[in-house]
Structure 1
Amino acid sequence: MAGKNSKKTLQTNLILPMQPHHDEFLETMTKIFKWSQFIGIVGRGSRIWKVWGLLLLLVLLAIEGGAIWKVIKALAGWAVDTTGQRSVTARLAGTMFYSSVVASQILCTRFAWSWGNLSSFWVSVEKTMALNIPPDPKLRKRMLTALGIMALCSIVEHTISVISLVGFDCPPELILRRYTLRSHGFLFLRTEYSVFFAIPLLLISNIATVLWNFQDALVVLICMGLTSRYCRLNQYVAKFCVEENKLAKGNNMKAEAVRLYSWRKIREAYVKQATLVRKVDESIGGIILLTSFGNFYFICLQLFMGITEGLFGTVVIKQVYYFVSLFWIVIRFTWMVLAAAEVHVQSRNALQYIHTCHSRYYNVEIERLQNQLNKDYVVLSGMGFFSIDRNILLKMATAVVTYELVLIQFDNKGGADSAPANGTGQQ
């Protein structure tokens, strides 16, 4: 008798809502957005941070405007020098980098600005599920670990980039001059160098590098939150099916109305979760599109520069930089894609548990849930242009190989000497 009562109590606890008072994911993301104000990503913060974000955006736009003008001059034949760091390839790479950074700041700021409404909707979905789903106690730790790893790898890659540009033979008093001229040679000539211009540019370029890496980290963190919610739902379904099967083996059938109610609440929870994913996709789709295009471009650029110069150069540190930079861009992009694809994988993962449910408990709500999970395509996308699933990695790899073959075939060795470096996979 005691065993039957314990089973009924467990079933009751699974059905009745006992929601946590706080969500660690939302709290962690709110703190991350608070710290991101230092790099110009300002949500509904104070006026001082908004002024800082606007000032940074204007400076980045000024640099981008100068880079575009330099590309136009090079293509039109008006440029004085089109070799080395001032080649067409270098100028175009610098233009692409700063255009990506400007777009990243705008889109990430837009996302941070909408985070208040999005987090409120996130909480409302959690509270209206009417299921006793425990929180993920390790989610915050996983998020901070992922953010720390990405930050560390970015710092290492940027440090190697600086060393490869400056070299080991540079006198200390010339380090700033050499780094500025080699990393931003696409903006000005040697005779135009000024320390009063170099120091602010050094600060802005470092902030730009952080912004360029932050957009991938932001997508990864948001996907971790969505995946965690799906995993919790799937674990709940797995546990519920196990308890259902135990009751069936004991010949202790629950009332049909209670079983229908339980499965209806589970199905509604998946409907609300899918709505949340689509709500997030509307807000973060632009960032996914931007980071996918940017990573694709710089992977192609690094492969091209590595094949034509980096892998066969005489300077060891440059060879190391090309390998490290390319490796990090590929790993970062793959990490982002797999994190986003995991949302789609977990959205269908409950089917394996539903199929184990005893046939005596099969009802119309279970059938509806199966059809819903099979037919409802829940996935993040790049503003609807493409969906992020695991197959996209193969498509991107095929596209990279195709473009590399075209670039190598039409390579003009006199015009592809070098490209700028900002810790971004450019040199």
Structure 2
Amino acid sequence: MRNAWSTAIGNISVGSVNTVNSLFKSWRKIAPTYTMDLYSLEKFKKYKKDWSYPVNIRYQEPVIQEKEKPCSTFQSAMKATLTIGQFFGLNPVQGIRGNDPAKLRFRLLSWRCAFTAISLMGQFTMAFVLFLSLFKEAASTVDTATTLLFYGFGFTTTILFFRIAIKWPQLSMIIAKGEAADPNTDAKLSRKFNIACAVILSLAFVEHGFSELHGMSIALDCHPEKPLYETFMRGSFAWLFLYIPYNDFVGFLAHFFNIQSTFNWNFTDVFVICMSTYLTARLEQVNQRIIAAKDKNLPSSFWRTMREDYNRTVHLVRQVDKMIGGVVFISFASNLFFVCSQLLHTLAGGIKASPKCRPDLPDDRRFFGGYEHSIYFVYSFLFLVVRSLAVSLTASKVHAASIEPAHALYDVSSANYCVEVERFLDQIHGDTVALSGLQFFHVKRGLILTIAGTIVTYELVLMQFTGVTPSSPDPG
């Protein structure tokens, strides 16, 4: 009977869902004592001759056709986020708006790469001209150095995403093959990614809006008789127009590259959050099967299968970390620096109205009566702290999920303890599975306290360097 059954199921194709279901029903009537835990047809074909493997038959009734199944693949979940990134020159890959990763292509001679190249030249020009202004101006300030790093981070981010785009089709195919063998059980991946993208970028838009209002308020207060846009551009990019004659087109380009650098800075956090969420979901999917089996009498072949599934997910984490390690590093480095910078401005200026630039004018044309500066820096500081915590906590979940199976393996009874369980435990504790910043640091929960201590330390150094003291609220 077993030989006949093996011959029958050996001819089943991976897509023959209806045939598999009918054979499952027949097998229950013939041999109800056998159980098999099947979560994919690939697993069924691989272990169909291993009669020691426990089988808990799961068939779907009524059968849903494959084309009607809800889509929860990595490609479909990331397409909205990546499409938004391409509007600002990031990840120039063709085919990201489709659901088939096999159609992803990176072509150097394409309009997407051309737009990325223009963005790189513009961001580099902004950073280079600002660097030259450090030598031309007699007194360089912390604000000038902060702006230089801002454009430097934007330029570096665009380069890192260009490198990711070269290997993105290959990584997407690797992920798709893993999903074909073990489909995602989290059908809300797309919603999670879209919510993270919408919330962070919306709050970033508000932050940039406060910055623009601050600049326009200065223009209205100091030069109300001149054109608003020209005054705003000259005030915002005074260092640029020391070398380039002003015209509205140059001002528009400078304004666009400024917005682009702001978006790139925020998009790195969105990207890290989405990738961390996906890797955590893949690890937790394996963990759920391990936790569900911890109190059952299972043979060593089951633990071997679980360990192999865990190995494949860990290998995926390492491949992703190798590709996006630079983005993780720039995300944490930029957040750390700008949290210190914004906190310094908040402590130095305090929450108070700025004095009028033209006291001789009777009307105050500023939007918030001089509080634009304080509103921007307080909001920016709070937003940076929340965003940094969100990135750190989400990325640290990858490491937390990687060590979670150990608790279930420790609960395996002595009668069921075997070499496979021991190898599984040794693997979990013998290696660190987590996202890293170019292998300089691993993102774990303890990293948050380390960053907090670093912020306090460097904030004290910056306050001493700029002369900000409790008795002297203004920089000396």
Same fold at TM > 0.5? yes
Aligned residue number for residue 341 of structure 1 = 396
Amino acid at match of 1:387: H
Q: What do the CA deviations read for 1:254-277 (whole angstroms, capped 9, x no partner)? A: 6xxxx2221111101111211111
Aligned residue number for residue 239 of structure 1 = 292
Residues of 2 paired with 1:293 and 1:377: CA distance?
22
Aligned residue number for residue 292 of structure 1 = 332
Q: How does 1:10-409 map to 2 (within 5 A)?
A: 11-13=36-38, 17=42, 24-41=73-90, 42-43=92-93, 44-45=106-107, 47-74=110-137, 77=138, 82=139, 87-127=140-180, 134-167=184-217, 174-188=227-241, 193-242=246-295, 244=296, 248=297, 259-314=299-354, 315-409=370-464
Aligned residue number for residue 423 of structure 1 = none
* Aligned partner of residue 380 in structure 1, secondary structure: coil
Residues of 2 paired with 1:298 and 1:350: CA distance?
37
Deviation at 1:158, TM superposition (A): 1.0
Deviation at 1:116, TM superposition (A): 0.8
Residues of 2 paired with 1:7 and 1:107: CA distance?
55
Amino acid at match of 1:12: D
Deviation at 1:34, TM superposition (A): 3.9
- Residues 192 and 48 of structure 1, relative CA distance in 2, 3 Å threshold: closer
Residues of 1 paired with 2:239 and 2:451: CA distance?
29
Deviation at 1:127, TM superposition (A): 4.5
Conserved in 2, the CA contact under 8 Å of 1:133 and 1:233?
no
More deviation, 322-331/42-51: 42-51
Aligned residue number for residue 22 of structure 2 = none
Deviation at 1:62, TM superposition (A): 1.2
- Listed as ranges, the gaps of 5+ residues in structure 1 are 249-253, 419-427
Deviation at 1:388, TM superposition (A): 1.0
Deviation at 1:181, TM superposition (A): 3.0
Amino acid at match of 1:164: H
- Residues 7 and 148 of structure 1, relative CA distance in 2, 3 Å threshold: farther
Q: Percent identity among equivalent residues?
A: 26
Residues of 2 paired with 1:210 and 1:191: CA distance?
25
Deviation at 1:358, TM superposition (A): 3.7
Q: Normalising to structure 1: TM-score of the pair?
A: 0.82
Q: What do the CA deviations read for 1:85-117 (whole angstroms, capped 9, x no partner)? A: xx5223212211111000000001211221111
- Listed as ranges, the gaps of 5+ residues in structure 2 are 1-27, 45-65, 94-105, 355-369
Deviation at 1:121, TM superposition (A): 1.9
Q: What do the CA deviations read for 1:290-345 (whole angstroms, capped 9, x no partner)? A: 12111111111111111112435543222221111011111112211111111000
Deviation at 1:73, TM superposition (A): 2.4
Conserved in 1, the CA contact under 8 Å of 2:73 and 2:176?
no
Amino acid at match of 1:167: S
Deviation at 1:15, TM superposition (A): 8.2
Residues of 1 paired with 2:125 and 2:244: CA distance?
20
* Aligned partner of residue 410 in structure 1, secondary structure: helix
Conserved in 2, the CA contact under 8 Å of 1:351 and 1:370?
yes
Q: Which protein has greater RCO, CA pairs closer than 8 Å, 6+ apart?
A: 1
Residues of 2 paired with 1:399 and 1:389: CA distance?
16
- Residues 134 and 397 of structure 1, relative CA distance in 2, 3 Å threshold: closer
Residues of 2 paired with 1:374 and 1:191: CA distance?
59
- Residues 32 and 215 of structure 1, relative CA distance in 2, 3 Å threshold: same
Conserved in 1, the CA contact under 8 Å of 2:72 and 2:186?
no
Deviation at 1:356, TM superposition (A): 3.2
Query: If each structure's helix is expressed as a fraction of its own residues, which one has the higher value?
Result: 1
* Aligned partner of residue 187 in structure 2, secondary structure: coil
- Residues 12 and 306 of structure 1, relative CA distance in 2, 3 Å threshold: closer
Q: What do the CA deviations read for 1:224-266 (whole angstroms, capped 9, x no partner)? A: 1101101111111122335x2xxx5xxxxx6xxxx22211111
Q: What do the CA deviations read for 1:54-82 (whole angstroms, capped 9, x no partner)? A: 112111111111011011223xx3xxxx5
- Residues 117 and 190 of structure 1, relative CA distance in 2, 3 Å threshold: closer
Amino acid at match of 1:157: E
